[in-house]
Amino acid sequence: MASSLALPAALLAALLALASPSLTPTHQAGVCAFYGECGTNPEVNVSLVSSRVPCLSNTPARVASGALLALLRSVCPELVRGDNDTTRVCCTYGQLVALRFSVGLSGAVLARCPACARNFANLYCHNICSPDQSLFTNVTRVTDYAPVPGARAVLEYQLFYRSHYAEAAFASCQGVRLPATGGYAIATMCGRYGAQLCTAQRWLDFQGDKNNGLAPLQIDFHLLPNGSEPGQDIAPLDAPVWSCDQAPSADQEPCSCQDCAQACPPVVPPADPPPPFRVGQADGALVICILIFAVLALVFLVAVLCRRGTAEVPQKPRGRGRSERAGDNWHRALERAFRWWGTAVASHPVAVLAVAVLATGGLSAGLVTLRLTTDPVELWSAPGSRARQEKAFHDRHFGPFLRTNQVIVTAPGRPGLTYNSAVLGTKNFSGVLAEDVLRALLELQDTLAAATAWAPRAGRNVSLQDVCYAPLNPTEPGVGDCAVSSVTQYFQNNGSHLALTATQEVGTDKATVDWHDHLMYCVNSPLSFKDITALELSCMAAYGGPVFPYIALGGYRDSEYTEAEALIVTYSLNNFAPGDPRLEWVQSWERRFLQVVRDFQRQHGRNLSVTFMAERSLEDEINRTSGEDIPVFATSYLLVFVYIALALGEYTAWRRVLVESKVTLALGGIAVVLGAVLASMGLLALLGLPSSLIIIEVVPFLVLAVGADNIFIFVQEFQQSQREPGETREQHLGRVLAQVAPSMLLCSLSEAVCFLLGALSSMPAVRTFALTAALAIAFDFVLQMSGFVALVALDNRRQEAGRFDLCCCCGTGTGGPGGAGARLLRPFLERYYTPLLLHPLVRPAVVLLFLFLACAGLFLLLQVSVGLDQELALPEDSYMLQYFSALNRYLAVGVPTYFITTGGYNFSSANGTNAICSSAGCDTDSLTQTIQLATLFPNVSYLAIPATSWVDDFLDWLNPMGRCCRFHQSGVDEGKFCPSTSSDLSCRKCLQWMRRPTAEEFQRFLPWFLQDRPTLHCAKGGLGAYDTAVSMDANGTILASRFMAYQRPLRTSQEFTAALRAARALAERITHTLRKVPGTDPAFRVFPYTVTYVYYEQYLTVVYEGLMTLVLCLVPTFAVSFLLLGMDLRSSLATLLTITMVLLDTVGCMALWSVPYNAVALINLVAAVGISVEFVSHITCAFAHSRQPTRVARATEATVTMGSKVVAGVAMTNLPGVVVLAFAKARLVQIFFFRLNLIITLVGLAHGLVFLPVLLSYIGPRPRVPAGEDTVGDRARGAGLVLGNPYFKDTEKDTEKDKDTEKDKDTEKDKDEEGVSGKG
């Protein structure tokens, strides 16, 4: 293959040599092709360095001696012969000085890899000074040099290299990094091809292109393979080359792993994530859940079959052991206490009501000090959390993260074009990369540059330069100094530059170049100060920094930047801590930014798609949505209020509707609930705890569910209870309260303790919610036992006096209780529902169904996504949704990630420096090397671009080959820094040879580096790139520093969380390595930081914390049930099991209905425990205290007596309000309040009214021995409500007859009442 290529290459080279003019007739060793200088090149109009060209001189090489020889030893040591040999050169001292300057420019970029720097310098040394120059050089074009008669200036020549020589030199430089950008140095040295498409030929061609701003004349490089000769005695250059893993000299080091792949130790790729657990081809978790269901179902069916055929016999009451006796005594004590309390309150209702109002009002007065927290950081991240501490450390040393304002412009459906550049080849341009679009973008940026905003508190107008990030002029920035990233910055945001055209000579042809050519060049060489076209424009932005195409463009494939579908304009603004008056400045300007961009969107909306955001946008949209959804919440609460007001009444006749109405009592009950909520929030506000919108939205619903249930239980029990003979009205109310209050206490105490334990959560929002809910439920119970009981007493007086509801001054004059009114739910439960539910064939099916649902919930629990995407926090009509969609589609790189070092590390020691840097001589496991290796596996590390390193650029800045670090050694500025642009002869280099600085030199020179503005003479200046990357005290001790890498694009909260986890693992590995450096403080550490970590840290632990919180809620629920049910283990276990199944099924439904799990969901799940207690505990309590002979009969009684109250008080209280929330604009409300609360309500209702009665009918405890004699009223209540019902009879004979008898009694009773009314 090599021989087949050699002949064509040789023929081509020979033809080129023969076709060239004979300006170098002699090609032999010891003979020059040119020598000396003949002025500047008249063909180079704009050059960043001197364009002096050599004189044609095909003469013998000159002897080098004296100063020339000394300088040659420094610049081109390979050309110096031995001590006994004469050194000859083809360059003068002046040419060698210019060569040293050129080598110094490249050395600033390449010196971190000594082999590359030496090889690159040797290219120029051989080209300009080699004594055998004519052997591989052929001058092809010259011009007369007027100042010297007969002299001719060289304008163009050919160089002939062996291919393997050029390829080896190129390979040694191909991997050298630019620490300031994380990219490759070769990208700045290969023109339009960039790093990815660069080859040895293209690399050399760029060096020889006179239009690149650096080359003084045109050089045509010809690379020839072995065995091919160009003829005419030309011998291609084949000089020694050092590979990058070799040291050029004994006092130098091989290139580092970061710059040289050959120098890297074997890289072990990270282990793949464990494969999903599978059993054969099936999902392992699914198989396990199926097996669990099968085992449970089998055990249950076996137990049922074993009991089949044996009818349930009436159970004998349990013997009263010590625990039962203690429980009975406790229950009797509670009843006596509540009976006494109820009687006392009913006797003095006005006084009790006044005290309740005063106490509630006094606590609610604390709301004047209420602070609402809207900052997501304060809501979801604990002040003591790792992310908050790291954020505080970062902000303390480096200031808050910059504020981002961004515009994304696309042109959907707009056709692109193919542009044929005479200089750069053919490229496809997308429809959005058109001149009119670029001009529209310029117009937008000009408008924003001139925009001002009024800051009312500051009382002044704020402009862009007041708030923008100006890295190269931070003290007194102008508009042009602001860091604005945009594709139009390749034209310095100058419309005249965009309109430029020029005639380009390409060989013998001429062509026109315009903005297309400049853009094609700049996207591949963004660090260039001058393109290679006749336009001769810079690629640097107006503020002096580069614009990287992966930030200004989006939606391209590979590196085809001109095919980008999106133009991205990014304004970086300074950020300020809360309380800083300048924060108002920047927020005011951002408001103006949004107005200007909206106008731009309206103006160009027909042709362009414009999406945008400001740093304040997310919080603005959330606040806007909260305000717009207030009517929805108000309607929701109103429906609940109307329902309670109508449902509490029990009506016996139309003419008594106004008397038997309970609207006033219902409003009082609602006032009790709201008073409890306000009092709890007021008390916490007085204690200094802030509240949040989620508390205002969730706690009232929760307390309404608890409070309304208790209201219905108490009121309906009072309505159904008959007054005993000789019993006063007050005693009657006290007796009813004694019957229902223990159950109400059970629920309220369980929920309050549950929420108090939930307050142990580390999340501020969860903790504050739990505290507020616990206090609100406690206050609600206290107010119900006092204020509401007083209201019931007053309402009972009104009704017995025959006065109208809402207008107690009027009435019918018909007194007395109204008796039993029309009911729908209880008869339905009694006659149809419970007989069907507890049918011998239905009960097993119910248990199997709910076991299946629980196992399905367990499997679906593993499928629930964890996190909260930003889009869910926004309303459906938010402009931010379009922005996030465009961002996820077009963004090519993620947010910056800083690796921050704390104090206690000695950067100035050689060991300390080597453990950080990544250039030659640095440790293979240094900080920057480790991060660079992590970027090789972006799917694991989530890092796309290696970290910038101020240490590496500082070492390059100190390189004596360049002119960056210099100081005045005499004069008035003696000892002060001498800029690279200064030509003062007193300037001396900081270091005389390449070495690590001493500790004193490190501390002296580092501040100079950090304040040195980058220039062409010294591109390594640290101002702008690193001046904010190092935090030092007055003594120069480094307190903190940061190294910036870039994440790959992250689109979901799961990816953000995984990126945080990976970055922390990487930082821990680096910390472990750096602590081994001598002198390092054991407390020193490295941690990652980016602006998103503080939001996503919660998802690292939210699953574990959620499980612990829910377990802590379930434990007191069981404990309180066990104690208040008289140490009834079975009933308490049934309660615990049912609530656990409610949670399992709720989480399973979350997976089916796309409700992610996060802190908001956790708050609702904690609330679900409380609501489930309401669905479960009342029925369990009724079952435990029932005296029916069989479990089925007791389950029936409990379902009928308490089921109707639970449905009316909990389910029907929640459902109307929850359904209304479906119409809210905020998707957060739709998902986490409508969907999740609807799931909780329906699942809780199903378990409370379907599963629990069946479960109790199987495993419920036996009835107890009566604790004492019943009163006559209790017997009457038992006979009327339970034993008198035909379904509860021990025998079911004559059922219809009994029903008819009851109906006749009711009819006669109504007639008697009507007679009494008539008499009245």
Residues 835-884: pLDDT tens digits?
A: 999 999 999 999 999 999 999 999 999 999 998 888 887 888 889 999 99
Residue 116, pLDDT above cutoff 70: yes
| Average pLDDT along the chain | 85
The first and second tokens of residue 615, run together, are 């740093």
* Residue with token string 């980008």: 564
Residue 806 is predicted with a pLDDT of 67
CA distance 1255 to 124: 91
Token pair recorded at residue 474: 């931070």
Could you count the other beta carbons within 10 Å of the beta carbon of residue 836?
10
Helix 1129-1152 and helix 1159-1184, axial crossing angle in degrees, nearest 10: 150
Q: How confident is the model at residue 800 (pLDDT cuts 50, 70, 90)?
A: confident
Assess whether pLDDT exceeds 50 at residue 1317: no
pLDDT for 11? 45
Q: Which residue has the tokens 């419309």?
A: 495
Binned at pLDDT 50, 70 and 90, residue 810 comes out as low
Paired with 89 in beta bridges are: 62
Whether 17 shows a pLDDT value over 50: the answer reads no
- Taking a C-beta distance cutoff of 8 angstroms, is the pair 928, 1041 a contact? no
Measured on CA atoms in the order 1101, 1107, 1110, 1115, is the torsion positive or negative? negative
The reported pLDDT for the residue numbered 489 is 96
- Spatial CB neighbours of 1034, under 8 Å, sequence gap ≥ 6: none
- Mean pLDDT of the region 146-162: 91
> Tokens standing for 1273?
């009223």
- Between CA 944 and CA 949, with CA 946 as vertex, the angle to 5 degrees is 155
Lowest-confidence pick of 685-699, 1196-1210, 1284-1298? 1284-1298
Q: What torsion do the CA atoms of 1004, 1007, 1010, 1015 make, to the nearest 10 degrees?
A: -70
Each residue of 490-517: pLDDT tens digit? 999 999 999 999 998 776 788 899 999 9
pLDDT digits (tens, 9 = 90+) for 678-728: 999 999 999 888 887 777 777 777 777 677 777 877 887 888 788 888 888
Give dist(CA 945, CA 928) in Å, integer.
11
Report the percentage of the chain scoring pLDDT > 90.
Answer: 47
pLDDT-derived band at 1058, boundaries 50, 70, 90 = very high
Rounded to whole angstroms, how far apart are CA atoms 1140 and 1157? Answer: 17
Tally Cβ neighbours within 10 Å of residue 314: 10
What distance in Å separates the CA atoms of residue 1053 and residue 1163, rounded to the nearest whole number? 19
Q: 912 to each of 999, 1002, 1147, how far by Cα in Å? A: 10, 12, 51
Going from the C-alpha of 1024 to that of each of 105, 179, 483, 964, 978, the distances in angstroms are 20, 14, 10, 16, 19
Residue 224 pairs in a beta bridge with 162
pLDDT of residue 762: 76
Q: What is the pLDDT of residue 655?
A: 58
Residue whose entry in the numeric block shows the structure tokens 């050599």: 54
The pLDDT tens digits for 948-986 are 999 999 998 998 888 899 999 998 999 999 998 898 889
Cα torsion through 8, 14, 20, 24, rounded to 10: 140
DSSP secondary structure letter of residue 178: E
Nearest CA to 837 out of 1251, 251, 417 is that of: 1251
Q: What is the mean pLDDT of residues 601-620?
A: 92
pLDDT single digits (tens) 41-89: 888 876 667 789 999 999 999 999 889 999 999 899 999 987 667 899 9
Residue type, 1002: F
| Tokens 């303390």 sit on residue | 396
**Which of the 8 DSSP states describes residue 90?**
S
Amino acid found at 346: A
Least confident of 90-94, 180-184, 302-306: 180-184
Per-residue pLDDT of 749-781, as tens digits, reads 877 887 787 787 777 877 888 889 889 989 999
Radius of gyration, alpha carbons of the chain: 43
DSSP percent split of the chain into helix, strand, coil, nearest 5: 55, 10, 35
Residue 710 to residue 1205: CA distance in whole angstroms: 9
Lowest mean pLDDT among 263-277, 505-519, 595-609: 263-277
The percentage of residues in the chain with a pLDDT greater than 70, rounded to a whole number, is 90
Q: Decide which of 1301 and 906 is more confident.
A: 906
How many helices (H) and strands (E) in the chain?
A: 47, 31
Helices 66-75 and 93-110, interaxial angle, to 10°? Answer: 20
Query: In the structure, what pLDDT confidence band is assigned to residue 20 with cuts at 50, 70 and 90?
Result: low
**578 contact partners, CB below 8 Å, separation of at least 6:** none
The pLDDT of residue 704: 75
Mean pLDDT within 881-890: 92
Query: How much is the pLDDT for 396?
Result: 93
For residue 892, which of 567, 609, 430 has the smallest C-alpha distance? 567
Partners of 407 in beta bridges: 569, 612
265, amino acid identity: P
Task: Give the model's pLDDT for residue 817.
Answer: 53
Q: Which of 28-37, 364-373, 626-635, 987-996 has the lowest average pLDDT?
A: 626-635
Instruction: Name the range with the highest mean pLDDT among 383-397, 817-831, 1202-1216.
Output: 383-397
Between CA 444 and CA 600 the distance in angstroms is 7
